[in-house]
Copies of this chain bind each other. A is one copy, B any other.
């Protein structure tokens, strides 16, 4: 029998208890042992809940109980999650977490503490919700040098963009609807400004490099500037707009960015709609591989946490491999990346002739709809050169990067 404690009985924490109960027998088979929740740490009481009798309010109870070998940290935020995780690891108790903020901020330190104390710090649920991605990177792509990662890593923004495309609706109205349906939070900033995707690509990039990329260093752009008009042009280009988190290893270093991109209709990420997430990995022997599924939600996220508990149960007293050192790496300057840009412009202020002078041989895009503005695609151009040219004119209504 392996005894676990759950820290935080919110959406994910209660999901962990539910998944462990629902699939109990099968999980025991796969773990090679029964897994039982002994404690649930929360400030609240849960009268009537089947796990009400397991609720404790003092973390020390869990810490001092030698029965507990696995702690599920499903609290979110950095404190007290950070302190509790450290204490658990120092006591030789493995920690499984869904907490991307904490992993992005302190992952390599907590991994080191796990190694030093013969236990594990596992965080499958911190990226891509229920999609197996951390474990495939660590356990499956072991014969591969990974040199590129590109993902749709945030379900809220993907839901909004999918709806905008399908309904021709504007950002604000779709956001409002998503909030009413519970797909977007009341304070949606972390999602729509790309901060959530940024933390996730920081984690994946760090695993790719086996070193630490700090999320604060990653250029991040959200989707608040995307309009219904942009989608008309996208359609005319046989493309759609997705918020991508991109990380590429080049000779110049690791280019990392979160931003909306126009991707072609034939792109494998094109079919990733609604709240689904997907991670595209490029490596030197296999080439492209992709991992797709529900990137958020109570049960999918809890399922990933439970898969980590099973992994801990299979490896009691042994640290499983996760190469992620505390050594810092700065992302390479993104200004050097060369790519094409789509520009939507006000013809009165930026005529095609002037656009050609600024950006080179542009290609005009003609959507089916009659729009007051016009759109064009630049030839491949360095990000920095594009920004410099764009700074020399008025009339640019929006600009979106192209991914091929």
Contacts and interface: CB of A to CB of B under 8 A. Distances in A.
A286 B307 CA distance: 11
A210 B30 CA distance: 11
A220 to B, nearest CB: 26
Contact of A289 (B31, B283, B289, B293): B293
A217 interface: no
Interface in A329-381: none
Contacts of A32: 321
A302 interface: yes
A257 interface: no
Contacts of A304: 143
Contacts of A287: 130, 293-294, 300
A5 B225 CA distance: 57
Contact of A145 (B23, B124, B270, B273): B23
A144 B292 contact: no
A184 interface: no
Nearest to A30: B142
Nearest to A321: B30
A307 to B, nearest CB: 5
A306 interface: yes
A284 interface: yes
A310 interface: yes
Interface in A237-291: 266-268, 270-273, 276, 278, 283-291
11 contacts: A132-B136, A136-B140, A142-B310, A143-B306, A266-B273, A278-B290, A283-B303, A285-B302, A286-B299, A289-B291, A290-B291
Interface of A: 19-20, 22-23, 26-27, 29-32, 124, 130-132, 135-136, 139-145, 210, 266-268, 270-273, 276, 278, 283-294, 299-300, 302-304, 306-307, 309-311, 314, 321, 323
Given A136-B136, A143-B307, 14 more contacts: A23-B285, A30-B142, A130-B285, A130-B286, A130-B289, A139-B307, A139-B311, A140-B307, A143-B306, A270-B271, A286-B294, A287-B293, A289-B293, A290-B291
